[in-house]
Amino acid sequence: MKQYIDLEDINNVDQLIQQAIQLKSDPFAHKQLGKNKSIGMLFFNSSLRTRLSTQKAAQNLGMNIMVMNLNSEGWGLEFEDGSVMNAGTAEHIKEAAAVISQYVDVIALRAFPSLTDKVKDEEEQIIRSFQKYASVPVVNMESATAHPLQALTDAITIQEFKQKERPKVVLTWAPHPRALPHAVPNSFAKMMQMIDVDFCITHPEGYELNPKITGNTPIVYNQNEALKDADFVYAKNWSSYQDYGQIKSTDESWMLTLDKIKAAKFMHCLPVRRNMIVADEILDSDQSLVIQQANNRTYAAQAVLKEILED
């Protein structure tokens, strides 16, 4: 693997899932692979899981780790080509990416969308600029439109817990007080199209994701109908894609309860707002996989870093 910007960078998804499960059973088997190699983890936004699990994954492979919160600790970065830098930004991405590439062997990056400018967000300027000006592989730790490490984690978790060959998986929108990105549902939907599951999406009207991403995936506006006979229920809030970044509904009847999901397993990428997205009764029950899911973040990242180091 040359980079992990999005799910298209995966050569063989089933093999990568199996590799992650293998690494989970023997995390230190490749401790020599990353010897004298470094990863630079650069954050423009908050993180708990991505930061710690990717760090742990790199550590398991014997790598050295450098972490930097670029927004608060670095110089203000300029991304526009040819700009006269007489305002807020102090350093151009051309120098920054080239310099960082001399210190590390892999750059991992988190940069959320503005949610105000759809065109700009979809250009993925930050991660694409790093890809362009860095001379080392770039790993996406959640960009404006994609969270491929999370999606790989989700596929691993479904593989581990499925009880039938082709389980029914439902992605459901759920209410949230703040406008959230589309990265997690985008990547989850794409991943579900790559593995053998019976997949549908449910959300209130007006919450359609990018149709280029949802493709032929069935969209059901009636949540209860969508949830019928589900094996896995994946909850996530996102803001409107059509009316970009807007909150069109906070309808609390979309919150997940045990009564709604019946015997299905519950998944969420975390962090989750309790009794907003999902009731305590689910998160505190054995049906919730969120903790096991978060554990798999380590092995998803480790499988990806291993392939990058081997390449």
- The binding site for ligand CP (CB under 6 A) comprises 47-50, 142, 150, 269-271
Residue with smaller CB distance to ligand CP, 50 or 172: 50
∠ CA 80-141-267, nearest 5°, is 135
Q: Is 115 in the site for ligand AN0 (CB under 6 A)?
A: no
* Interface with ligand AN0: number of residues (CB under 6 A): 6
What CA–CA distance (Å, rounded) separates 59 from 57? 5
H-only helix segments in 162-279: 183-194, 211-214, 223-227, 258-261
203 binds, among ligand AN0, ligand CP, none (CB under 5 to 8 A by kind): none
From the list 97, 126, 133, the residue with the least C-alpha distance to 112 is 126
283 binds, among ligand AN0, ligand CP, none (CB under 5 to 8 A by kind): none
Q: Is 97 in the site for ligand AN0 (CB under 6 A)?
A: no
Residue with smaller CB distance to ligand AN0, 91 or 123: 123
Which residue is associated with the tokens 């959640």? 142
Amino acid identity for residue 227 in this structure: L
Residue with smaller CB distance to ligand CP, 93 or 156: 156
Residue with smaller CB distance to ligand CP, 127 or 226: 127
Q: Cβ contacts of residue 178 below 8 Å, gap of 6+? A: 247
Q: Is 184 in the site for ligand AN0 (CB under 6 A)?
A: yes
48 binds, among ligand AN0, ligand CP, none (CB under 5 to 8 A by kind): ligand CP
| Start-to-end Cα distance in the chain | 6
Q: What binding mask, one character per residue, do residues 256-275 give for ligand AN0 by CB under 6 A, x or -?
A: -------------x-x----
Main-chain dihedrals φ then ψ at residue 170, nearest 5 degrees: -120, 125
Main-chain dihedrals φ then ψ at residue 46, nearest 5 degrees: -65, 160
Q: Minimum distance from CB of 84 to ligand AN0 (Å)?
A: 33
From the list 112, 148, 132, the residue with the least C-alpha distance to 4 is 148
209 binds, among ligand CP, ligand AN0, none (CB under 5 to 8 A by kind): none
Element counts in the chain: helices (H) and strands (E): 13, 11
Residue with smaller CB distance to ligand AN0, 101 or 202: 202
Interacting residues with ligand AN0 (CB under 6 A): 180-181, 183-184, 269, 271
